[in-house]
Amino acid sequence: MPSRRRFLGTTAAGLAGLSGLAGCQGSTAETPTTPADTTTSGDTTSTTTTSDPSYTVSMSPTGDVTFDEVPETVFTVFPQYLDMAVALGHGDAVNAVYVPKMSGTTMNHYYHHLDGVSLDWSGLADPLSDGLSKEQLYALDSDVHLADPAWASTQTNWSQADVADVAENVAPWFGNFFSGTHGQPPDDYADYKYYSLWELFGHVADVFQEQARYEALVQVHTDLVDHIQTNLPPRSERPTTVRATLSRDGSTFWTYYLNEPGYWLADTRPLGANDAFADQGWDGLWGTVDYETMLEADPDVILHLWGLTPNYSMADTIEMLENNPNGQQLTAVQEGRVYPAGMRYQGPIMNLFQLEMGAKQLYPDVFGAWPDYEDGEHYPDIPADEQLFDRDRVAGIITGEAN
């Protein structure tokens, strides 16, 4: 039986939600009312007496979760939670992340510019290499699972009983997946609440009891978004843009919205570009289009999702576009405005860099040109006077030197 080191329990309401009896914490979905992600803090009730150092954190869909100490071993699935842990000074606590080489390499492309911040991903387990495994969760014996129980209940060979068993006998769940797209959660979670990326980060900061680091990083993010949005050109002068991934055989495009709700769009929505596919009626936030459809839209800019990860070669992507009879007619290809983008699964550090990257790619006359990028290289060096946020400030917050 796993030891119960730092987790004391969930409320009755929380356990009812995990067992599918009463949904989740009572709340209603909230849609952000501005293009920028909001930055309100998470909800924490802390017990500060010396005899009882426990504290309670709360988030949909898990409800209240009480810890007796800050978790020292942390399970994550998607890398936004690993990035949050790194940002809060607890990256070494994480024991798993989706495709560690891809996620870790991409993160280090950004962390390279933050003195004292790095990630050793080599020993991390991949929680989805063979599908989400209950046996793996037992073997890792984590203090908390930064993953969504509602999402877990949809995975192959998982039931509500399995989700509740892990919460009771291994460690609590504490994650929110469907806020990424404002997608529909399972019926057992009818009261599911949606959060922005930075709201979600606030709740994770409560788990680690790192509210000071969180608030300091929120201020950096707020200043960055304010600077970008204050200086945006009129909407009529903004470029038409597509966020897309070219298939590996170069035949079709996976395409994604830019400005819809959801934390997967936390790096594009604040930039306010004109989405060339805004009127497409996809089932979800993405679809598949051919060259003819892309040529009909003919965007000024193509942001190639995953282009900064080791999984894609931007040089090969551009070559395929230039060699295709329709692709070579695209305005973005002719004008050299096919750019690498980062990952949808972004945490707060990644979000800062990806906001800066997108601002430069979309509005070079305002925010400075995006430098040339070579496959496999780190996020490019940008002159200090053209950086849109202070790297030293961010590094100092993360390492504890500037809290």
Q: Which two tokens stand for residue 262?
A: 């959801």
CA dihedral 255, 185, 128, 147 (to 10 degrees): 120
Which residue from 149, 114, 118 is spatially nearest to 134, judged by alpha carbons?
Answer: 149
Which residue from 188, 223, 161 is spatially nearest to 387, judged by alpha carbons?
Answer: 223
| Average pLDDT of the segment spanning 4-11 | 52
Whole-angstrom distance between the N-terminal and C-terminal Cα of the chain? 39
- The pLDDT score that the predictor gives to residue 334 is 98
- The pLDDT score that the predictor gives to residue 105 is 97
- The pLDDT score that the predictor gives to residue 87 is 98
- The pLDDT score that the predictor gives to residue 402 is 79
Helices (H), 244-390: 291-297, 314-323, 331-334, 348-362, 364-367
Confidence of residue 23 (pLDDT cuts 50, 70, 90): very low
Inter-residue contact 98 to 126 (CB < 8 Å): yes
Lowest mean pLDDT among 11-15, 29-33, 388-392: 29-33
Q: Give the predicted TM-score (pTM) of the model.
A: 0.89
Lowest mean pLDDT among 11-20, 168-177, 364-373: 11-20
Which residue from 48, 50, 54, 95 is spatially nearest to 75, judged by alpha carbons?
Answer: 95
Report the C-alpha gap between 44 and 174 in whole angstroms. Answer: 13
| Average pLDDT of the segment spanning 375-383 | 95
Q: Which two tokens stand for residue 355?
A: 């906001």
Q: What is the pLDDT of residues 299-336, one digit of tens each?
A: 999 999 999 999 999 999 999 999 999 999 999 999 99
Return the half-sphere exposure (C-beta side, CA atoms, 13 A cut-off) of residue 206.
25
Report the C-alpha gap between 35 and 13 in whole angstroms. Answer: 33
DSSP-derived secondary structure letter, 349: H
Query: Which amino acid does the sequence have at 322?
Result: E
Confidence of residue 6 (pLDDT cuts 50, 70, 90): low
Report the C-alpha gap between 174 and 163 in whole angstroms. Answer: 12
Pairing of the two strands 63-67 and 55-59: antiparallel
Inter-residue contact 67 to 303 (CB < 8 Å): no
Inter-residue contact 277 to 253 (CB < 8 Å): no
More confident position, 40 or 86: 86
Domain formed by 221-399, architecture:
3-Layer(aba) Sandwich (3.40)
Q: Do domains 7-211 and 221-399 have the same CATH topology?
A: yes
Report the C-alpha gap between 379 and 394 in whole angstroms. Answer: 16
Q: Beta partners for 243?
A: 256, 303
For the stretch 136-139, contacts whose Cβ atoms lie closer than 8 Å and that sit 24 or more positions apart, written own/partner, are 136/96, 137/75, 137/166, 137/170, 138/2, 138/166, 138/169, 138/170
- The pLDDT score that the predictor gives to residue 284 is 72
Report the C-alpha gap between 176 and 194 in whole angstroms. Answer: 8
Helices (H), 22-70: none
Q: What are the sequence ranges of the domains in the chain?
A: 7-211, 221-399
Q: Which two tokens stand for residue 68?
A: 């007796």
Q: What is the pLDDT of residues 62-88, one digit of tens each?
A: 999 999 999 999 999 999 999 999 999
What is the CATH number that goes with domain 7-211?
Answer: 3.40.50.1980
| pLDDT above 90: percentage of residues in the chain | 84
Q: Which two tokens stand for residue 268?
A: 């594009």
Instruction: Compute the mean pLDDT over every residue in the chain, rounded to the nearest whole number.
Output: 89
- The pLDDT score that the predictor gives to residue 158 is 97
| Average pLDDT of the segment spanning 129-157 | 97
Inter-residue contact 360 to 301 (CB < 8 Å): no
- The pLDDT score that the predictor gives to residue 17 is 45
User: b vs e for 26-58, b when ≥16 Cβ sit within 10 Å of the residue's Cβ?
Assistant: eeeeeebeebbbbbebbebeeeeeeeeebbbbb
